[in-house]
């Protein structure tokens, strides 16, 4: 009887201590802006616990107006193309313009948004890592998982607004395929952001290298210059550009079933492009490359995260503070 009473009291004290610990860490997190893990002495935090902690911190530190800013951009951008997409020569450029908006808005914002994620939290992470609260791979995976819900929701809402208001193909299948490519694009972009954030000692230095890298990606995406006209020593860059893969994939989705494009009001100085296959040829895209584009983006996603994790692991081993 005494043993049961003692055990009950002991469990109550454990409950009180855990509640006080959670309240203390929540208060410190709100006042400092950092996410502190629970003080679980004697065991290592699981991936689920660390991920939920990072999700909570991300929600607390994200201003409410940020949730609507991108939606306003989507509405304004789609209004620029409202009524411009027709089955004629001018409509070709309008469709490619919408594709550029979809890809660029889901590439640069998430990539630069994750650039400061690791440097800002590295000192705290290193201290908790040395205390044995979690391993490097648990911390890295939790950061990736914590960003997924918000980024996915943003890209879905943005793509839906732009796609339907700009009057792209009204096929549900093609819309879902476009949405899938955009989700791949935003995930590869965040993976690249993780890689650059762990590759340099501070955000300013990472930004200095990321900006010219972005220019190369944008030039080789296929919309601004005919890729076959690039010098041979530059053409290889398109193979590490997920902007190229996503642009080609969405262009294939939008143009592969178009068999009749009007040539009305066309001057003699411009050639007449009569179907979707010729549109793809104009941009050096190939319908046969659709699956290859998807596999290539998945490969880049894995590669960037492997490199990012390796860089973070090396920093922990060398104790190189940001």
Report pLDDT digits (tens) over 40-79. 444 445 545 444 554 445 544 444 445 577 778 788 888 8
Dihedral angle sign, alpha carbons of residues 17, 21, 22, 23:
positive
Residue 188 belongs to some domain of the structure: yes
- Residue carrying structure tokens 């409410």: 64
- Any idea how long the chain is? 322
pLDDT for 33 beyond 60? no
Residue 48 belongs to some domain of the structure: no
Measured between alpha carbons, how far is 57 from 31 in angstroms, rounded to an integer?
Answer: 12
User: CA angle at residue 223 from 160 to 148, to 5 degrees?
Assistant: 40
- Whether the CB-CB separation of 239 and 296 falls below 8 Å is answered with yes
Residue 52 belongs to some domain of the structure: no
The stretches of the chain forming alpha helices (DSSP H) are 2-32, 47-61, 66-80, 89-105, 108-113, 117-130, 136-165, 172-199, 203-219, 232-235, 242-255, 276-282, 290-318
pLDDT for 277 beyond 60? yes
Burial of 70 (0-12, 13-18, 19+ CB in 10 A): middle
Domain tally for the chain?
1
Contacts of 97 (CB under 8 A, 6+ apart): 81
Stretch 120-146: mean pLDDT, rounded?
Answer: 81
Residue 209 belongs to some domain of the structure: yes
Residue 143 belongs to some domain of the structure: yes
Measured between alpha carbons, how far is 43 from 71 in angstroms, rounded to an integer?
Answer: 43
Closest by Cα among 99, 141, 107 to 215: 107
pLDDT for 243 beyond 50? yes
How much is the pLDDT for 46?
A: 52
Report pLDDT digits (tens) over 190-213. 999 999 999 888 888 889 999 999
Residue 102 belongs to some domain of the structure: yes
- What is the domain extent for residue 172? 85-320
How much is the pLDDT for 268?
A: 59
Helix, strand or coil for residue 262?
strand
Residue 92 belongs to some domain of the structure: yes
Residue 245 belongs to some domain of the structure: yes
How much is the pLDDT for 265?
A: 64
């Amino acid at each position: 009887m005494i043993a049961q009473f003692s055990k009950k009291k002991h469990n109550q004290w454990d409950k009180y201590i855990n509640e006080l610990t959670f309240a203390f860490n929540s208060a410190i997190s709100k006042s400092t802006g950092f996410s502190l893990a629970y003080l679980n002495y004697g065991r290592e935090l699981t991936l689920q616990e660390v991920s939920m902690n990072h999700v909570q911190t991300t929600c607390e530190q994200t201003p409410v107006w940020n949730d609507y800013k991108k939606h306003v951009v989507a509405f304004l951008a789609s209004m620029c193309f409202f009524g411009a997409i027709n089955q004629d020569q001018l409509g070709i450029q309008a469709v490619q313009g919408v594709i550029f908006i979809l890809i660029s808005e889901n590439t640069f914002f998430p990539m630069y948004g994750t650039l400061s994620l690791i440097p800002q939290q590295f000192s705290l992470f290193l201290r908790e890592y040395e205390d044995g609260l979690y391993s490097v791979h648990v911390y890295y995976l939790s950061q990736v998982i914590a960003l997924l819900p918000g980024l996915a929701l943003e890209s879905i809402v943005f793509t839906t607004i732009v796609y339907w208001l700009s009057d792209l193909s009204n096929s549900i299948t093609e819309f879902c395929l476009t949405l899938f490519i955009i989700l791949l694009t935003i995930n590869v972009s965040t993976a690249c952001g993780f890689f650059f954030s762990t590759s340099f000692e501070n955000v300013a230095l990472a930004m200095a290298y990321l900006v010219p890298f972005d220019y190369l990606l944008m030039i080789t995406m296929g919309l601004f210059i005919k890729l076959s006209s690039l010098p041979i020593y530059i053409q290889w860059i398109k193979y590490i550009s997920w902007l190229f893969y996503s642009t080609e994939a969405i262009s294939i989705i939008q143009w592969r079933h178009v068999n009749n494009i009007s040539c009305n009001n066309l001057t003699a100085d411009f050639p007449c492009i009569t179907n979707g296959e010729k549109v793809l040829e104009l941009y050096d895209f190939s319908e046969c490359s659709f699956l290859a584009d998807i596999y290539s983006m998945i490969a880049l996603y894995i590669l960037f995260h492997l490199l990012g994790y390796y860089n973070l692991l090396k920093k922990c081993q060398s104790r190189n503070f940001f």
